Structure 1
């Protein structure tokens, strides 16, 4: 199976292929394409844009995408820059592509990315089958997940991912989960590779990007409604995470663009990718 990426890391095991890749195509060159085999995509770096069910407009939190056989999409990295693990093989699964937010599934995929050169073929196949178990029932002879995260972690992830409260805090998430914030941070990092604060900040940027893409609110309003101190704070975050400004992002992703007074005065040109 071909992916829009290049890299030396590739393995085969038990009918599955594993590729650790860097995005190698400018965003505008990625056209709609199809995949015959089922596959997972774990985003390791970069802002990934996917049409999978439940995926943000652009990622800034841990993202694991499952695409069933026959998927046709135009998933790509913003600016053509990113790094990802692709695992392909197997048949069947859900009818629609989906964004998986199960912490244990993310940890399994991330462990493959970390140790792709070191794992035996047996371990690689076993972990691919475990991932498959999240979208297909496991047969009796397939390995079962071990070391699963506590149930409250799934609730905490879902709470952050679905919240539109600009004042949501890590302390509030820990309180809802019934655990100490330090314990929350420790378990979060173990299974998701980031802190709860990183995840919360990433979700805020994802929400801001989605609002800007709809083109129905000013930059100041977007900043206020997504928990940023002010518009300047929103600008700094976009420059740091996506190497662009909120104004440029909106011009590239717009549905019904609007003009802020500040933009009109600056007459800032749209960015080209």
Structure 2
């Protein structure tokens, strides 16, 4: 089985950037099928355009634009690329960096898809920072990576103490972001009192329920920016925004830039 070294991925790499134990790689996937292989480092795949199917010993994952996948070190897998252009950004973490930053954390084995909208938007911001190419880029990348992956390591540390209602509430909101349920419905599905839900939601999600719903809409809109022929007004409507102006305001609030800026960035 082939082992890929740091910064090495199947396809055509347009950018490789390394800073302090972190490696960012932008790659266009050109192989319709990639046989079983594994990588030297722990890494994330963030799909910018197109689709890819990844198979591993547990099954298959269908990833589309905006999808984020975590791979533990030397996790073997294969890839299938459906027809069409597919590009992805990879973030690799050297073992020395992980040991320095998270010395007492055991990482989850295998590979898994990450659904957190805040984490995905941080990866879009990481893409933006990687293109800045100035004397602050290294600092910006380190900062964004820590912000993006710290909750994942925190979950690994705190999983034994994470109440079950958190995942229930999160799943309900992700499935119903176009038609948000009211507070009593969320609490009933989660199995907690509305007061407890309101008081504790920010602790586990990092924002209020209303902010989380807007975050979900922005994350969904990000996934449609790479679609050809989709106007910003069409994307705004399909993602539940009142209008294009509303979407632009939310984009600026959560990502720091406009949808048009990121559309151009994704298509670089």
TM-score (norm 1): 0.52
Which residue of the other structure, out of 30, 47, 68, is the alignment partner of 1:64? 68
2:85, 2:44 → 1: CA distance? 19
Aligned counterpart, 1:136 = 153
Which residue of the other structure, out of 28, 33, 52, is the alignment partner of 1:22? 28
Deviations 1:130-155 (CA, angstroms, capped at 9, x unpaired): 333233249xxxxxxxxxxxxxx987
Is 1:37 aligned with 2:54?
Answer: no
More helix by share: 2
1:7, 1:134 → 2: CA distance? 29
Compute the RMSD of aligned alpha carbons.
4.0
Aligned length: 179
User: Structure 1 residues 11 and 61 mapped into 2: Cα distance closer, same or farther (>3 Å)?
Assistant: closer
User: Structure 1 residues 55 and 40 mapped into 2: Cα distance closer, same or farther (>3 Å)?
Assistant: farther
Deviations 1:75-117 (CA, angstroms, capped at 9, x unpaired): 3432373111100123362111110111111111111123312
Aligned counterpart, 2:178 = 170
> Could you list the runs of 5+ residues in structure 2 that have no partner in the other structure?
1-5, 96-105, 156-165, 188-209, 224-234, 241-268
Stretch moving more, 48-57 or 119-128? 48-57
User: Structure 1 residues 184 and 16 mapped into 2: Cα distance closer, same or farther (>3 Å)?
Assistant: closer
2:44, 2:149 → 1: CA distance? 9
1:82, 1:134 → 2: CA distance? 28
Aligned counterpart, 2:125 = 111
| 8 Å CA contact retained: 1:18, 1:85 | yes
Which consecutive segments of 4 or more residues in structure 1 shift more than 6 A? Answer: 52-56, 153-157, 182-185
TM-score (norm 2): 0.53
Deviations 1:42-87 (CA, angstroms, capped at 9, x unpaired): 0111112124799974234631101011111013432373111100
More strand by share: 2
